[in-house]
Amino acid sequence: MIPHSRPLIDGEDAREVQRVLLSGQLAQDGEVARFESRMASFVGVRGAAAVSSGSAALHLALLSLKAGPGDEVIVPSYTCAAVLNAVLHTGAAPVVADIEPATFNLSADDAARRITPRTRAVIVPHMFGVPADLDALGALGVPLLEDLAMSLGSRRRGKRAGSFGSLAVCSFYATKMMATGEGGMVLSGDEALLAEVRDLRAMDEKEEFRVRFNCKMTDLQAALGLSQLRKLAGFVARRREIADLYGDTLRRLGLPAPHEPAECEPAWYRYVLMLDGDADPFIDEMKRRGVECRRPVYKPLHRYLRLPGYETSERAWRRAVSIPLYPALTGAEIETILKALRLALPKHCTGRGHEAGTLGQASRAC
Q: How far apart are CA 336 and CA 230, in angstroms?
A: 30
Contact yes or no for 61/167 (Cβ under 8 A): yes
Vertex 42: Cα angle to 38 and 45 (nearest 5): 90
Domains and their CATH numbers in the chain: 11-228 (3.40.640.10), 233-363 (3.90.1150.10)
d(CA 239, CA 252): 20
pLDDT in tens, the chain (366 residues): 999 999 999 999 999 999 999 998 888 889 999 999 999 999 999 999 999 999 999 999 999 999 999 999 999 999 999 999 999 999 999 999 999 999 999 999 999 999 999 999 999 999 999 999 999 999 999 999 999 999 999 999 999 999 999 999 999 999 999 999 999 999 999 999 999 999 999 998 899 999 999 999 999 999 999 999 999 999 999 999 999 999 999 999 999 899 999 999 999 999 999 999 999 999 999 999 999 999 999 999 999 999 999 999 999 999 999 999 999 999 999 999 999 999 999 999 875 433 333 333 333 333
Selection from 114, 134, 116 nearest residue 124 by Cα: 134
Task: Report DSSP letters for 270-290, one per residue.
Answer: -EEEE-SS-SHHHHHHHHHTT
Q: How far is CA 12 from CA 96, 154, 327, in A?
A: 43, 24, 16
pTM of the full structure: 0.94
Distance from C-alpha of 248 to C-alpha of 233, rounded to nearest angstrom: 23
DSSP secondary-structure letter at 258? P
> Other CB atoms closer than 10 Å to residue 161's CB: what's the count?
30
